[in-house]
Amino acid sequence: MKTLRFKAVEKAVSRQALDVILPSVKTSEYFAVDVFNRSTMQEYLSREAFDSVMEAIEKGTKVDRKVSSQVSQGMKAWAISRGATHYAHWFHPLTGATAEKHDAFFEPTTEARVIENFDGTKLVQQEPDASSFPSGGMRNTFEARGYTAWDPSSPAFVMGNTLCIPSVYVSFKGDSLDYKTPLLKSIEAIDKAGVDLCSYFESNVTKVNVGLGCEQEYFLVDDALFNARPDLKLTERTLMGHSSAKDQQLADHYFGYIPLRVGAFMREFEIEAYKLGIPLKTRHNEVAPNQYESAPVFEEGNLAVDHNQLLMTIMKRVAKKHNFEVLFHEKPYKGVNGSGKHCNWSLLTDTGINLLSPGKTPKTNMLFLAFFVSVIKGVYEYQDLLKASIVSLGNEHRLGASEAPPAIMSVFLGDEMNRVLDEIESKVSAGKMDKDEKTELKINVGKIPEIMPDNTDRNRTSPFAFTGNRFEFRAVGSSANVAYPMIVLNTIVARQLREFKKELDKFLESGIQKDEAIFRVIKKFIIASKKIRFDGNNYSGEWKEEAEARGLSLCNDVLDLLKNIVSPEAKELFSEFKVFSEHELDARLEIYIEKYNKKMQIESRVLGDLAINHILPVVYKYQNVLIENVNGLQKLFKSPDSERLSSPQMMNIEEISSRTVAVFTRVNDMIEERRKANKIEDNDLKAREYNDKIKPFLDEIRYEIDHLEMIVDDEMWPLPKYRELLFIR
Ligand code: ADP
Ligand code: MG
């Protein structure tokens, strides 16, 4: 009888590249057809309604009830024309996934008739029964009400047959229960602080926007193989599996030829993304076998976050049609690279200036430098908070594994920018600068050449790198909702911009002339944040030593890092900008810790089940084959010969015995520890117990099983092996 594994392998191998029927029209002709965007709104809304929505988008004003009812009518008419039968508030609860509860447009009127209905109140606000979403105790089950409210700054779209309305999600008392609410607040914070600072340079700036482009990495795996791996199915990562003789050593996958089947999948999800207005631009093979990347052109921060969440949903859906599963887990396979999501982040004014791009004149370059040093200082002062925003159980396996940045924050600037900062540091004197000094500095500053991203982008080991016209936060995990790291980044930079302005005002009040005052603050920021600058190899052991000597945070413990969001500094920071209340931060920590515990519990259970129900029975069967063989040899040959002939089998029998004993006892010990941990009421203590006592068993058990995989008859091994999972034919 064929094992499940062999059936799965056969199925995977026999798959043909799917011919997808692709629209023969140009992308520009169908781009954003399923989005209720500016031009569609113009067509479907009255002038009054259109202006009101535009104002809400641009200035964050409220759309009033009367107008919202007009908007809902227009939106409904458009959505029905795109084939929608249902509508849903689409939001980002703290599960990390997106959520939607569909309601049909129609409402029964009399017995036999229904009418298509969707009024303004339903557009603006809904009340999903949301008692199962994480709330960190902010919403008692008896008070399960949570509200979703329309976010006009991200356009509605039709996906499948549903009109999806991007929404925030808050509790009955107004506490945020999602990622979007604080993200919008952080964008507002940096906008305000940015505009205030710009007024010293460019008086006509009225808005500072966040620009964000997320490079999404992922793995593909054939779904037949995926379905034969309960660990992948339930935890999105392999909890066992010996490495393949060949995986990424030859680096022959990176930027290589895209397999036909994969190409068909990419093409189709890109088309779906285009219809939803997601401007995907780049696709390529990544380093590990079966690993790929998709990146859009950057967009406004809130929209970019929505689009990244939407992209992940689309990819999952389209993959099914191509008999693939997409893995967004940060480390699905041991021994090969994991997946991240580089977040390219910049600040752009409504006057068309990229504040993180060196300008052409001394004046614009001083503006650039003010923002530039503020970002660096923000990263320095809130290293641990930034780390807190990217750690998770999955990302923990990835960071520091010489394939992704270590858990030490540093900023890469490149030679050119280091030179500029060093020069300012050495040339701006503490005393009053004379005219010549100032002119020289300004001329030098005016000469910052345009930095080509290619010149700066070489250091791939840096967690936070300047790439010519943006910073690239490279430690973000591939499965993450990027809102969280962006909330932190926006807020810590808003804080520095505000501080920059305060320092500047102080100098100005003391009678120092503006240019000089600006230089002085820039210098102050350069000196204050010098320790975070590092251009060397972040993977090296020497960096760890040096970072320690510099007093940078080396903490890499997930649980300790998560707690940084409730540190006094974090609470003060987030309250100052009204991004999170203290209460909301406490709740978030509770949710993250609970999630950690649940994930650990699931991984540990899955591994236990697999070890006892799948692996050991097969191992025993194979051992019996060997025993039978040895017995047969003993019957056939005389003693010395039979001993010689059966000695390899005997060695295997012994190794199998010792390893099965190890697996068996460790699984039982792990279950015992789990029992103890589960009795602990306090979430923090429980997490500690899971982390310290249970997690090590996962590695130990895996170690034994991976060795058993090398001994047991290949035909009998029950789970698809790495060499099968990692290569697509
Ligand atoms: P690389 O892999 O070399 O970093 P990619 O082309 O894969 O480059 O991704 C770069 C990402 O950075 C894209 O999403 C791109 O739109 C984005 N990007 C470019 N300029 C900016 C900017 N000024 N602000 C934010 N993101 C940007
Ligand atoms: Mg990049």
Ligand with the closest atom to the CA of 292: 1
- Rounded to whole angstroms, how far apart are CA atoms 476 and 390? 5
- Using pLDDT thresholds of 50, 70 and 90, give the confidence band for residue 67: confident
Which of 34-48, 130-144, 473-487 has the weakest average pLDDT?
130-144
Minimal-distance CA residue to ligand 1 atom 3: 457
pLDDT at residue 399 above 80?
A: no
349 CB-near residues (< 8 Å, 6+ apart): 194, 198, 202, 205, 207, 208, 209, 355
- CATH number of 31-178, picked from 3.10.20.70, 1.10.40.50, 3.10.270.10, 3.30.365.10: 3.10.20.70
CATH superfamily of 187-580: Glutamine synthetase/guanido kinase, catalytic domain (3.30.590.10)
- Rounded to whole angstroms, how far apart are CA atoms 417 and 552? 21
Mean pLDDT of the residues in the chain: 90
Ligand 1 atom closest to residue 346's alpha carbon, by position in its atom list: 24
- Rounded to whole angstroms, how far apart are CA atoms 477 and 146? 28
- Using pLDDT thresholds of 50, 70 and 90, give the confidence band for residue 142: very low
- Which one has a higher pLDDT value, 441 or 590? 590
Ligand 1 atom closest to residue 342's alpha carbon, by position in its atom list: 4
78, amino acid identity: W
Decide: 535 and 418 in contact? Cβ < 8 Å.
Answer: yes
- Rounded to whole angstroms, how far apart are CA atoms 553 and 567? 15
Mean pLDDT, range 45-52, rounded to an integer: 92
Mean pLDDT, range 676-690, rounded to an integer: 95
- Ligand 2 centroid to 155 CA: how many Å? 27
- Ligand 2 centroid to 472 CA: how many Å? 7
- Ligand 2 centroid to 453 CA: how many Å? 10
- Rounded to whole angstroms, how far apart are CA atoms 500 and 508? 12
pLDDT at residue 451 above 80?
A: no
Q: Which of 377, 650, 409 is nearest to 552 (CA)?
A: 409
Question: In the chain, where are the structural domains located?
Answer: 31-178, 187-580, 595-725
Please report, for the chain, how many H helices and E strands are present, in that order.
28, 18
3-state helix, strand, coil in the chain (%, to 5): 55, 15, 35
Ligand 1 atom closest to residue 457's alpha carbon, by position in its atom list: 3
- Ligand 1 centroid to 212 CA: how many Å? 8
- Ligand 2 centroid to 344 CA: how many Å? 7
- Ligand 1 centroid to 326 CA: how many Å? 23
| Full 3-state SS string of 367-423 | HHHHHHHHHHHHHHHCHHHHHHCCCCHHHHHHCCCCCCCCCCCCEECCHHHHHHHHH
- Rounded to whole angstroms, how far apart are CA atoms 183 and 155? 16
Domains 31-178 and 187-580 share a fold: no
Exposure string over 636-666, b if 16+ CB within 10 A, otherwise e? eeeeeebeebbeebeebbeebeebbebbeeb
- Rounded to whole angstroms, how far apart are CA atoms 95 and 178? 9
| pLDDT single digits (tens) 223-240 | 999 999 999 999 999 999
pLDDT at residue 140 in the model: 53
| pLDDT single digits (tens) 173-208 | 888 989 999 999 999 999 999 999 999 997 799 999
pLDDT at residue 317 in the model: 95
Structural class in CATH, domain 595-725: mainly alpha
Ligand 1 atom closest to residue 213's alpha carbon, by position in its atom list: 14
| pLDDT single digits (tens) 292-347 | 999 999 999 999 999 999 999 999 999 999 999 999 999 999 999 999 999 999 99
Minimal-distance CA residue to ligand 1 atom 24: 346
Ligand 1 atom closest to residue 293's alpha carbon, by position in its atom list: 7
Residues with CB under 6 A from ligand 1: 211-213, 215, 282, 295-298, 344-346, 354, 457, 469-470
pLDDT at residue 363 in the model: 75
* Ligand 2 ion: Cβ-proximal residues, 5 Å cutoff: 342
- Rounded to whole angstroms, how far apart are CA atoms 380 and 547? 12
Cα–chain-centroid distance for residue 458?
Answer: 22
pLDDT at residue 141 in the model: 45
- Using pLDDT thresholds of 50, 70 and 90, give the confidence band for residue 244: confident
H/E stretch holding 224:
helix 223-227
Beta bridge partners of 347: 210
> Which residue in the block uniquely carries the two structure tokens 């339903």?
122
- Ligand 1 centroid to 395 CA: how many Å? 22
H/E stretch holding 159:
strand 157-159
- Which residue of 255, 305, 470 sits with most ligand 1 atoms within 8 Å of its CB, as the best mutation to test the pocket? 470
Mean pLDDT, range 512-530, rounded to an integer: 95
- Ligand 2 centroid to 484 CA: how many Å? 19
pLDDT at residue 597 in the model: 95
